[in-house]
Amino acid sequence: MADNLINGKEIAGKVTEKVKERVEHLKSKGITPGLAVVLVGSDPASQTYVNSKTRTCERLGMYSVMIELEENISEEELLTHVNKLNDDDQIHGILVQLPLPKQINEDRVIAAISPLKDVDGFHPVNVGKMLIGQPTFLSCTPFGVMKLLEYSDIALEGKHAVVIGRSNIVGKPMGQLLLQKNATVTYCHSKTKDLHNFTKQADILVVATGQPKMINASHLKEGAVVIDVGIHRNEDNKLCGDVDFASAKEIASKITPVPGGVGPMTIAMLMENTCLAAENTLDK
């Protein structure tokens, strides 16, 4: 990889090697970390992502189970499955793959997961703890971005970090985690006027717009660190991100590619959260 690329695959490997050591320690005490992934429907992208999570669990010596449910399942039926997993001592982490079908209230399902098993970091209790800086499960993608910055020796204190996107899954927690490391944080979103005015000030730019190649070199300050959270298929059916990588890499001091940047880190942090959930049972 070029000198200014942040290799997410390589860093994810370092993270999961440490997780593997922790898993082995837990096993020596009679505990095998267990992750349950609930998949509703047959969306190909979700299926691929879930399969990758399951394979990573197996590689790290963790227990995993995948529960596949029909697209037309009722909300009550889904909640019944979640409650069973809450009560299953073999399961330390529960992940319900989003998005869910329209007949199901995602907020209600997330709230039904025990905060002690919410390894996605979406439960309101864990979001609240994250907000005030208490130890908790962090949302996996923003957690992964923080690890990328840490392993890449990118200083955050006093830097201006601009986050484009305000979703509960990425944008909002991303800004808060950067703030906790003493960055000055600006949030931008679909209603922001004169986006260039903000992005050109960014020492660190995290892009989670959901729009392919929305950000290009014209948006960047020379030497900015660019973190691309997006993933899409372009007109040639090749993967691309929210950033026009070809132009941005000429301006950025550090940049994540797509694929091979943030994506592998999301799964790595899910494994770390699941391991942590299992470790927490030792304190009971």
Q: Is 97 a catalytic residue?
A: yes
In the set 9, 18, 29, 53, the catalytic residue is 53
Q: What is the DSSP string of the chain?
A: --TTB--HHHHHHHHHHHHHHHHHHHHHTT---EEEEEEES--HHHHHHHHHHHHHHHHTT-EEEEEEE-TT--HHHHHHHHHHHHT-TT--EEEEPSSPPTTS-HHHHHHHS-TTT-TTS-SHHHHHHHHTT-S-PPPHHHHHHHHHHHHTT---TT-EEEEE---TTTHHHHHHHHHHTT-EEEEE-TT-SSHHHHHTT-SEEEE--SSTT-B-GGGPPTT-EEEE---EE-TTS-EE-SB-HHHHTTT-SEE--SSSSHHHHHHHHHHHHHHHHHHHGGG-
Would you call 180 a catalytic residue per the annotation? no
Q: Which position among 117, 118, 120, 213 bears the catalytic label?
A: 120
Q: Is the separation of the CB atoms in 242 and 209 below 8 Å?
A: yes
Please confirm, yes or no, whether 120 is among the known catalytic residues.
yes
Residues facing 63 on adjacent strands: 34
Residues annotated as part of the active site: 53, 97, 120
